[in-house]
Amino acid sequence: MSTRRDDDLEEFRRGDSELSRAYRRASAPQPRAALDRRVLERARAAHARAAASGTGTWAYAASIALALAVMFAVAYAPRRVERTDETPHFLHTAARHPNSPALHFAYPTVAGRAAAGAEVPDPRRWLARIAALREAGRNRDADEEYRRFCTAYPTYAATRGETGAAVR
Amino acid sequence: MLEAMDLVDHDGELMLRYGRGDLGAFEILYARHKGPLYRYLLRHVRHAATANDLFQEVWSRVIAARGRYVARAKFATFLFHIAHNCAVDYHRRRHSASIQSADDEPAAAYLEPEAPADQRPDRLAEFNEQQSALLSALAALPAEQREAFLLHEEGGLNVEEIARVTSVGVETAKSRLRYAVRKLKAALMDSVGAEHPAAVVRSL
């Protein structure tokens, strides 16, 4: 009995049973034309609303994009001006101390230091300081300082002959 | 089978096209599914005016869902899932209303002919006793069994899809369909036997 029922169900599920054929032969009512019109009108109205709001959405998106572009321009323009001075912060500090090693390292020559706006040491005083280091027996310091002096004033010794006691 | 799959993909594609703004795609989709959906609602709720309202509501939901539709299952499953939910909501509202106004309106007032007068079976000369008995037996089925039968016949859904649409297990859906088929087949046999007793064995 159970197998018979399963057979009936399987036959029905295949879609070609006597039951299905009888059901399909029965009346097949359709929605009335007025109902069709109402549904299709609703679909058209939704379509039209979407098209209208689509245009509005595009305009809205464009205005947002424009506003963002202006905001970025305003926000970044001053920063770009500020960043034209690429000098590291430690050199601004070193510029206040003419003989600091950092300044010598960054701007070895007097011309470079002058171009960077740093204070240029007086060569005579510099040589006198080197000579004082030698007199005090600090030859290693004097040599180091003289090497910097020669880098800063590459032609000084040759043109002036004023290195004096600064050179051993 | 391949043809059926093509049709499935075609319906889903039509819905996707409508979602992209192609109104013509909706018109094709509507023409293809309006009859089965209408008969499912009409024979499920057995109330012509309610079926009309639900029919519009189902299509309104389809229209509203056009932008987020994803063709995960075949379109008929999507459509009849919405229809099932609308029918469930209707039964809840009706149950609630009948509790509130049980004395005001008899339940029989909800029952109307399933079709307009010009389409009613008893008005058509060619409509015979067999189909009339079948539709009567369908109307007399428990709602769950009737719905399972209609989802299969009108929606073209298989047992797994019926289970998904009605939110029950596959075995439950299969059992409902089995009972429906057995009762309808018995009604059909009775009507055939009454008209032509010798044809019973031959036709079934």
pLDDT at B203: 40
CATH topology of domain B1-107: Rna Polymerase Sigma Factor; Chain: A (1.10.1740)
Place of tokens 């004096």: A164
Alpha helices in chain A (DSSP H): 2-14, 18-25, 33-82, 89-94, 101-106, 110-115, 123-135, 139-152, 156-160
**What integer pLDDT is reported at residue A17 of this predicted model?**
85
CB-CB under 8 Å, B52 with A31: yes
What pLDDT shows up at residue A3? Answer: 61
pLDDT at residue number A112: 66
Q: Is the entire prediction scored with pTM above 0.90? A: no
Complex confidence, ipTM: 0.77
Q: Cβ contact (<8 Å) for A27 and B131?
A: yes
Q: Supply B128's token pair.
A: 């015979």
The structural domains of chain B, with segments of one domain joined by +, span 1-107, 119-204
Structure tokens at B168: 């029950």
- Most A-contacting residue of B153, B161, B189, B192 (CB-CB within 10 A), to test interface: B153
Contact yes or no for B41/B51 (Cβ under 8 A):
yes
Residue with the bigger pLDDT between A80 and A19: it is A19
CATH topology of domain B119-204: Arc Repressor Mutant, subunit A (1.10.10)
Q: How far is A71 from chain B (nearest CA, A)?
A: 33
CB contact under 8 A, A51 and B21: yes
pLDDT reported for residue A110: 64
Three-state DSSP class for A61?
A: helix
- Residue in B47, B160, B181 to test binding to A, most A beta-carbons within 10 Å: B181
* Residue the block writes with tokens 């299905």: A20
Considering CB atoms only, which of B120, B158, B181 is closest to A19? Answer: B181
Average pLDDT per run of 10 along chain B, which is 204 residues long? 53 91 93 95 93 96 91 90 94 74 44 49 58 90 95 94 95 95 90 55 40
